[in-house]
Amino acid sequence: MSDRSRNGQSLVWGRRAMVQGTALGLVTVALSRLSSRGRSEAADLQQAYRAVFFSDDEWRTLNSFVDRLIPADAEGPGALEAHVPEFIDRQMNTPYGHGNEWYLRPPFMKTSAALGYQFLFTPRDIYKQGLPALDVAIKQRYGKPFHQLDAGERDRVIGQLEKGTIALSPVPAKLLFGQILKNCKEGYFADPIHGGNYQMGAWKMIGFPGARADFTDWVDRYGARYPLPPVSVGGHATQGGV
């Protein structure tokens, strides 16, 4: 269990709870453990990736943010080891990032969330305007940018963003939090072809077979350990079982 879970804060993304809430329909077979060497190599590779969409300051803020949403622990890789920031950076240069499938024409009204998205911001806008606004607010409060805060301070800030108790402009705090959380979970469980889920670490953690052509023999074997490693859309398999 991560230190966030132990502290009992409102924003608690323990890995089991997150898997249950995100990977619906997946059978949890066993939790894999990545070696310290594997985590070090993954972190080094993530540092080597050069962001295309995000500026250096935005990149540091994003990395330090998702690191607290899914921290590495004994159950599996964290967001950084899974290359979640790389996934998000790549997504911002797709039609999704530009909001091509979103209805973004006015009028924009303050109304029930049940009526859908009511802002003019595309995902790119949310990040480009929200991350700098977050750093400004944090510098005013702590005298240093978000990525220089310690883990406990970042957790408190993220919890306040979730509740909307930090004033950001023009992107509301809750909107920025929700966008990062959504993309973080997507990058953590996506096929590695999209840049995240490095070496299919998240899939190995929950026992998901990935894009294997046939695993129906194991569908009804509840609680049984799936013996084969996951396979990505690109046909690549990790070494060893779950």
Q: What is the pLDDT of residue 216?
A: 79
Position 91 scores a pLDDT of 97
Nearest to 128 by CA among 190, 189, 59: 59
> Which tokens is 68 given?
């607290």
Torsion of CA 150, 18, 135, 124, to 10 degrees: 150
pLDDT at residue number 8 = 38
Instruction: Give residue 160's pLDDT.
Output: 97
Within 24-83, strands assigned E span none
- Exposure of 49 in the CB half-sphere (CA atoms within 13 A): 26
pLDDT at 212: 79
C-alpha angle 80-86-90 in degrees, rounded to nearest 5: 160
Distance from C-alpha of 127 to C-alpha of 119, rounded to nearest angstrom:
14
pLDDT along the chain (242 residues), means of 10: 42 48 36 37 61 97 97 94 97 96 79 81 97 97 96 97 95 97 97 93 88 80 82 69 41
The torsion angles phi and psi of 174, rounded to 5 degrees, stand at -65, -35
User: For residues 113 and 228, is the Cβ–Cβ distance under 8 A?
Assistant: no
Task: Quote the tokens at residue 74.
Answer: 């004994």
